[in-house]
Amino acid sequence: MSLVPRSSVFDIDRFFGDNWQRSADREMGDFFAPRVDIKDADDHFEITAELPGVAREDIHVHVNEGVLTLEAESTQEDKEEKEGKIIRQERRYGKFMRSFNLGGDVQEEDIKASFKDGVLTLKAPKLAEKAPVRRRIEID
């Protein structure tokens, strides 16, 4: 498979390891580190990322020199008031970035993205395999 995840300083799971992340999730609540799934279909790769609570305009996807980068930012504030007094107020902010090497097997200009119900789906069409061409070389 040519679609290989690249590590990032924003990918806290890879930086500290999954065990640390599970521990941190219990202490800090829902930490903004969405999981990404990669599927190798016959004619394309499909990347899905769960981004609950993220607005479409806060998601940025771009390709640069064969590297696909997904960035998202989440801001969430919960405020609970009783009789005009704040009883509880919580805030959660997070930035997420993942990059993937596309390799030479993907048509970069034809990558499509859709976002529905908090799930981002990217479809990256594979290049059609070219049959090897046999060519006779004349000898002078």
Per-residue confidence (pLDDT) for residue 3, from 0 to 100: 54
Which CATH number fits the domain that encloses residue 56? 2.60.40.790
What would the two tokens of residue 25 be?
């999730």
Is 101 part of any domain? yes
Q: Is the pLDDT of residue 122 over 90?
A: yes
Burial category of 45 from C-beta neighbours within 10 Å (exposed 0-12, middle 13-18, buried 19 and up) = buried
Distance in angstroms (rounded) separating the CA atoms of residues 76 and 136: 66
Is 132 part of any domain? no
Domain count, the chain: 1
Is 133 part of any domain? no
Per-residue confidence (pLDDT) for residue 46, from 0 to 100: 93
pLDDT band of residue 19 (cuts 50, 70, 90) is very low
Residue-range definition of the domain harbouring residue 91? 4-125
C-alpha distances (whole Å) from 62 to each of 19, 33, 130 are 30, 19, 27
Is 73 part of any domain? yes
Is 138 part of any domain? no
Q: Is the pLDDT of residue 60 over 90?
A: yes
Q: What average pLDDT does this structure show over 78-89?
A: 74
Average pLDDT, the chain: 76
Is 51 part of any domain? yes
